[in-house]
């Protein structure tokens, strides 16, 4: 009985260790997946008043953004005005620094081929939400 308990606890601890290890390697992989050229397929801006959408604009084929493995990037004809930038990313944030301006975006979804991020600008009870939908 003691052996069974020992083996059960051992298997549980090994399983716990393996599952924890997967999460960390997934985060590291996300950092690698962002590297490359991303097409800005769609840009959407929504304005809200009292929780209701009051206006929405959308544009497609907004150029490309290049993320390099050294933490730098370049906007090629997109929403970021052709600027060079540095970046940091996690599974929930994308932080771009262009010149003296640091902007933190929320990563909405991310895979090896699709990437969506947004920024919300509050104004009292109102807000504006901008979203970028990108693909490789």
What's the pLDDT tens digit per position in 91-126?
789 999 988 889 999 999 988 899 999 999 998 889
DSSP helix, strand, coil percent of the chain (3-state; round to 5): 25, 55, 20
How many CB atoms lie under 10 A from the CB of residue 42?
A: 16
| All structural domains of the chain | 34-135 (2.40.128.280)
Helical spans, DSSP H, in the chain: 2-33
* Mean per-residue pLDDT, 4-24: 40
Q: Which residue has the tokens 């999460």?
A: 23
Both structure tokens of 85 = 């930038």
Q: Determine the straight-line distance between the first and last CA of the chain, rounded to whole angstroms.
A: 55
What's the pLDDT tens digit per position in 30-71?
567 889 999 999 999 999 998 899 999 999 988 899 999 999
**Is the Cβ–Cβ distance between 94 and 71 less than 8 Å?**
no
**Is the Cβ–Cβ distance between 40 and 134 less than 8 Å?**
yes
Query: Minimal CA–CA distance to 73: which of 89, 58, 51?
Result: 89
Please tell me whether the overall predicted TM-score, pTM, comes out greater than 0.85 for this model.
no
């Amino acid at each position: 009985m003691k052996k069974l308990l020992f083996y059960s606890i051992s298997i549980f601890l090994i399983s716990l260790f393996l599952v924890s290890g997967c999460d960390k390697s997934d985060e590291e992989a996300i950092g690698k997946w962002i590297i490359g050229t991303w097409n800005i397929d769609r840009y959407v801006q929504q304005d809200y008043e009292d929780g209701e959408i009051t206006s929405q604009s959308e544009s497609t084929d907004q150029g490309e953004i290049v993320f390099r493995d050294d933490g730098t990037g370049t906007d090629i004809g997109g929403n970021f005005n052709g600027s060079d930038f540095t970046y940091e990313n996690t599974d929930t944030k994308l932080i771009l620094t262009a010149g003296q301006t640091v902007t933190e975006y929320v990563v909405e979804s991310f895979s090896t081929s699709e990437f969506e991020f947004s920024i919300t600008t509050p104004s009292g009870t109102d807000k504006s939400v901008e979203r970028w939908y990108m693909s490789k």
